């Protein structure tokens, strides 16, 4: 293409650039990729939150077990579902049950997060002075908030608590 001249005699050269269709196409592709990443991030966050809830529950059980072992007492783990599902830990002493209150909690009974439940709904697990139950025990931790479930097992031989 030959350059055109304006009134002052200067030549206009043909400039190249992007058309509006090309710009809209690039913006559309970036938008689609961003929406995929956001959905992945939300599901990843939900999985992390659920894992943190389960790990807190397991950590609380391990703390109570170790607390009882250090005092050479039996540990009682109680779980309850209902209007506010909760769990608590006690030491079995000659005088009956003595509550184990965690340093991070102000109450003997620890409420589960919203949407969480334990199965069996009402359960009492007795750990001997070595921190082991009489038989393998399994507790199912379910979260309706995150639509996930985890099985937590207390090993009768080693006393390990695994997920």
Distance CA 141, CA 27 (A): 43
Fold of 20-162: minor pseudopilin epsh fold (3.55.40)
The answer to whether residue 145 scores a pLDDT higher than 80 is yes
Instruction: Report pLDDT digits (tens) over 16-68.
Output: 778 899 999 999 999 998 888 877 788 888 889 999 999 999 998 898 889 88
Boundaries of every domain in the chain: 20-162
Q: And the tokens for 26?
A: 């690039």
pLDDT score of 154? 92
The answer to whether residue 10 scores a pLDDT higher than 60 is yes
SS3 42: helix
The answer to whether residue 104 scores a pLDDT higher than 90 is no
Angle, vertex CA 148, rays to CA 54 and CA 107, nearest 5? 35
pLDDT confidence band for 9 (50 / 70 / 90): low
Instruction: Report pLDDT digits (tens) over 54-97.
Output: 999 999 889 888 988 999 999 998 888 877 888 888 888 878 88
SS3 22: helix
| Residue indicated by tokens 């309706």 | 144
């Amino acid at each position: 293409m030959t350059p055109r001249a304006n009134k002052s005699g200067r030549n206009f050269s043909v400039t190249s650039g992007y058309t509006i269709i090309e710009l809209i196409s690039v913006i559309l592709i970036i938008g689609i990729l961003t929406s995929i990443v956001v959905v992945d991030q939300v599901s990843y966050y939900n999985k992390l939150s659920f894992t943190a809830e389960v790990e807190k529950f397991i950590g609380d059980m391990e703390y109570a077990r170790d607390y009882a072992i250090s005092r050479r007492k039996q540990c009682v783990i109680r779980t309850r579902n209902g209007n506010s599902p909760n769990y608590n830990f006690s030491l079995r002493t000659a005088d009956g049950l003595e509550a184990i209150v965690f340093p991070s909690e102000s109450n003997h009974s620890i409420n589960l997060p919203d949407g969480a439940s334990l199965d069996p709904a009402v359960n009492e697990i007795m750990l001997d002075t070595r921190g082991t139950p009489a038989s393998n025990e399994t507790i199912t931790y379910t979260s309706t908030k995150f639509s996930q479930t985890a099985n937590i097992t207390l090993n009768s031989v080693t006393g390990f608590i695994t997920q």
